[in-house]
Every structure is written in structure tokens, then in C-alpha cells.
């Protein structure tokens, strides 16, 4: 008769291993969060937050000026009013539609009429606002020459900008280098400090040590970069009015996107973390594997399908909730880099990253068993 239940010895060992993993995590978290050599990681994680804060401040300032301009106008304007102005209209027609401009400039300009003949033209610029969007009307000799509408709070464009920063700065640089800094130092940092033997002298499987260190690194990177991601979202939404924020979060999938970005950040930490853990054990000089992995991730869009699957960014790109459009005229190589020509479904992407991470962790477990304490050669 067989039984499917695990034996008491197995259960006991599992409890011991879990206790050992927790002990490793406690030691590593202290080192990871408060290490002087890791301060730059906080800076890298905070950079996009500062970027969105600066953007929010600039946008808020502009919104404030726009609202002030609207209040100073003769009429309360709607967006449709701004669209009613067309080139060729006279200044009187414009004033009839929009009222006297709250802000206007005029100046004289010499314009060539023919060879050696110029005429002095009266140029005017009217600036209107509906409280959110700005209209700039250029007039010459009392007729509208050109119009320029600057849209205020454009959630669609803002979310594409957020997606661009997330994909091209946060994922590919901040999380990438942050994981490099933390995971490559899990073993290598202690070899340099000559303190790795402390762990190797404990009655603990090397694989358990590796698992503990990896989980500690994962916890640290996830904490740092998920907090950064949440702060980025908060900073990004800062300049939205409460109603616009509500519309974005609850009706335009904003909350869903924020959750997906957090999930993608966690998966990025998992994938890059596993890569850098094994790289930190295999290489003495971290620059070589870092450069190799960075190039590998960068050239991913140009690789054949089978090779694409052995990278992290391939899966992460497929999970990103907002696709970044390539504007017309984008160079083909850049367009290829931006676009996701061969996306995979979300479940496949998640499983793909987990499998890639597991392969890297398996390689790490083989390597950690072979590791020797030989500080003099470092």
C-alpha cells in the first residue's frame, strides 16, 4: 500500500530548510537595503518618479495659467468654440465667436511682396482658453493665418508617455541595472568582502543558501521597484483633476494598467534577478555579463523567433498594457525596436519568464555546489 502523504522526515527537512531560508533572508535584507554600495539603486529607481513629478508640476503650472486665462476671457468657451476658428477668418469674426482675446500681442513685420518690394504687415496673436486647452490664433493684416490648439490634459497621450518611460527607461535600464547591482553582489559581494565562508560553514545545503539569497534579492528589488512604480503612478496622476483621475482609473483601465505594471515589474525582477544571480557566480568581472545581457536584451526584436524566447524583455513587452505607436517617419530599426511584432499571450509570457528564471536558477544551483572559498584568487 502506498501513501501520497510526505514522510515526517521530509516534512521535518522542509521545515528546517524554510527556517534556514528565512535566516538567510533576514541577514541579506539588512545588507541589501543598507549597503552603501547599493545607494545608486535607490537613485535609479527614483529617477522616473522625479521625471513624472517634474512633468506633473510643469503640467499643473500650465493648467493653472490656462484656467486663469479662461477666467479673464469675455466669454466662457467650450472646446467646440476653439475648433470653430478657421484660417482665413477676419479678426472681427474671431472676436465675434470667441470674444475679445484675454491675451493678445501685435507687432509689425516687413514681408517681401516681390523683387525689392516689401510691405509692412500688422501681425497679431490671440491666445484663448477653455480652461483646459489653449488656442493660439496667428493673424496677418486682420486675417487668420494659422491656428494652433494645444490640448491640455490628454490622458491617452499621457498614458503612452508613461508606457514609453516604463518600457524604455524603467524596465530596460532601472530594473535591469538595479537587479544587476543587487543579484550579482549576493555571492560576489561576499567573496570580495571575504565573508562568504560564514554561510558555507553552516550545516545548510548550498541550494538552500542560494534560494535564500535569491529570495532576499527578489524581495529587495521588488520592494524598491514596486514602490518606485507606485510612486510613478501617483506622480503621473498628480496633475489630473479628481474627476479626470476617477475617469482614468475606473473607466479608462488606469487601475488595471497600474496593477499590470506592478506585475510586470515583479516579473522583471524575477527574470533579471535569476540571470544576474548565475552571472555573478560564473564571472569575476560583472561588466562582461552585464554588457552581454544588455546587448542580448536590446537586440531581441532582431533575433529569430526561437532565440527571442531566451530573453526576459521578449515576455515583458508582451505583458505591457499600452502599446507604443510608431509615429510616421520613424526609422525602420527604431520602429522595430518600439513595436512588438511577435507578441505572446499573457499566460505564455508569465510562464515563459518563470521558465527562463527556473533555468537560470538551476544553473545557479549547479554552480553554487561547485563554489570554493579561495579569496586569494579574487
Partner 1 sequence: MSVPVRPPVNAPESARIVFEGVSKFYGEILGVNRVNLSIPPGITSLVGPNGSGKTTLMNLMTGLVRPTRGRIEVLGYQTNDPEQLFAILGYSTQFDAFPKGLTGFQFLYSYLRLSGRDAHNAEQMAWRAIERVNLVDAAQRNIAGYSKGMRQRIRLAQALAHDPKVLVLDEPLNGLDPLARSEMIALFRAAAAQGCYVIISSHILHEVDVISDQVILLSNGYVVAEGQIATVRGEIQERPTQILIRCTRPRELAAKMLEDEHTIEVTIHKDEKGVLLKTRDADGFYLALNQLALNESGNGIDIESIAPADDDVLSVYEYLIGNEEVVR
Give contact residues for partner 1 (rule: CB under 8 A). 9, 12-13, 15-16, 19-20, 23-24, 26-27, 30-31, 34, 193-195, 197-206, 208, 369-370, 372-375, 377
Find the shortest distance in angstroms from Cβ 207 to partner 1: 10
Closer to partner 1 at the Cβ: 15 or 86?
15
Q: Given CA atoms 82, 87, 91, 92 in this order, what sign does their dihedral have? A: negative
The least CB distance from residue 194 to partner 1, in Å, is 4
* Least distance between partner 1 and beta carbon 151 (Å): 53
CB-wise, 106 or 197, nearer to partner 1?
197
Q: Which is nearer to partner 1, 19 or 156 (CB)?
A: 19
How many CB atoms sit inside 10 A of residue 314's CB?
A: 25
User: Least Å distance between CB 79 and partner 1?
Assistant: 60
Strands (E), the chain: 103-114, 117-129, 134-140, 143-150
Question: CB under 8 Å to 338, separation ≥6 — which residues?
Answer: 324, 326, 330
Contact call for residues 274 and 356 (beta carbons, < 8 A): yes
- Which residue number, 202 or 307, has a Cβ lying nearer to partner 1? 202
Q: How many CB atoms lie within 10 A of CB 113?
A: 10
Beta carbons within 10 angstroms of residue 25's beta carbon = 21
DSSP 313-331: HHHHHHH-SSPPPPPTT--
Residue 189 or 352: the one with the smaller Cβ distance to partner 1 is 189
CA distance 61 to 66: 9
CB of 7 to partner 1, least distance (A): 12
> Which run of H or E residues covers position 43?
helix 39-72
Instruction: Please state, in angstroms and rounded to a whole number, the distance separating the CA atoms of residues 184 and 365.
Output: 15
Closest CA to 29 of 174, 276, 212: 212
How long a stretch of residues is the chain?
Answer: 378
CB of 69 to partner 1, least distance (A): 57
* C-alpha cell, 25: 533572508
Q: Which is nearer to partner 1, 64 or 197 (CB)?
A: 197
Nearer to partner 1, 12 or 156 (CB): 12
Cα torsion angle, 147, 152, 158, 161, sign: positive
Specify the residue, 30 or 111, whose C-beta has the smaller distance to partner 1: 30
Query: What is the smallest separation between the CB atom of 365 and partner 1, expressed in angstroms?
Result: 14
Shortest spacing between CB 190 and partner 1, in angstroms: 8
- Please name which of 321, 312, 314 lies closest in space to residue 357, comparing C-alpha atoms: 312
Task: Tell me which residue has cell 524566447.
Answer: 309
Amino acid at each position: 500500500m502506498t501513501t501520497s502523504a510526505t514522510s515526517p522526515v521530509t516534512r521535518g527537512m522542509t521545515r528546517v530548510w524554510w527556517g534556514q531560508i528565512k535566516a538567510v533572508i533576514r541577514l541579506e535584507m539588512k545588507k541589501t537595503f543598507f549597503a552603501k554600495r547599493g545607494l545608486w539603486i535607490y537613485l535609479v529607481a527614483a529617477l522616473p518618479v522625479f521625471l513624472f513629478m517634474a512633468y506633473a508640476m510643469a503640467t499643473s503650472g500650465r493648467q493653472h495659467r490656462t484656467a486663469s486665462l479662461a477666467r479673464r476671457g469675455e466669454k466662457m468657451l467650450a472646446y467646440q468654440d476653439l475648433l470653430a476658428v478657421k484660417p482665413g477668418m477676419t479678426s472681427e469674426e474671431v472676436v465675434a465667436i470667441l470674444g475679445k482675446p484675454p491675451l493678445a500681442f501685435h507687432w509689425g513685420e516687413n514681408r517681401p511682396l516681390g523683387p525689392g518690394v516689401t510691405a509692412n504687415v500688422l501681425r497679431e496673436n490671440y491666445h484663448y482658453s477653455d480652461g483646459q486647452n489653449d488656442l493660439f490664433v496667428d493673424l496677418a493684416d486682420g486675417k487668420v493665418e494659422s491656428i494652433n490648439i494645444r490640448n491640455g490634459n490628454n490622458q491617452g497621450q499621457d498614458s503612452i508617455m508613461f508606457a514609453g518611460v516604463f518600457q524604455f527607461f524603467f524596465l530596460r535600464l532601472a530594473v535591469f541595472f538595479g537587479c544587476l547591482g543587487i543579484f550579482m553582489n549576493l555571492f560576489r559581494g561576499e567573496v570580495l568582502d571575504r565573508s562568504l565562508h560564514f554561510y558555507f560553514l553552516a550545516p545548510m545545503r548550498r541550494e538552500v543558501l542560494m534560494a535564500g539569497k535569491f529570495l532576499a534579492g527578489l524581495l529587495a528589488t521588488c520592494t524598491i521597484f514596486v514602490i518606485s512604480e507606485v510612486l510613478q503612478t501617483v506622480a503621473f496622476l498628480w496633475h489630473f483633476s479628481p474627476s479626470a483621475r476617477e475617469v482614468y482609473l475606473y473607466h479608462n483601465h488606469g487601475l488595471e494598467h497600474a496593477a499590470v505594471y506592478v506585475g510586470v515589474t515583479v516579473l522583471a525582477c524575477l527574470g533579471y534577478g535569476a540571470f544576474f544571480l548565475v552571472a555573478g557566480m560564473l564571472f569575476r568581472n560583472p561588466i562582461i555579463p552585464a554588457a552581454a545581457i544588455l546587448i542580448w536584451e536590446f537586440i531581441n526584436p532582431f533575433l529569430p523567433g526561437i532565440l527571442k524566447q531566451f530573453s526576459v524583455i521578449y515576455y515583458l513587452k508582451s505583458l505591457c498594457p499600452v502599446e507604443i505607436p510608431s509615429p510616421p517617419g520613424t526609422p525602420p530599426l527604431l520602429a522595430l525596436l518600439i513595436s512588438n511584432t511577435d507578441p505572446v499571450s499573457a499566460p505564455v509570457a508569465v510562464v515563459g519568464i518563470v521558465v527562463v528564471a527556473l533555468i537560470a536558477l538551476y544553473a545557479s544551483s549547479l554552480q553554487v555546489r561547485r563554489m570554493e572559498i579561495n579569496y586569494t584568487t579574487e
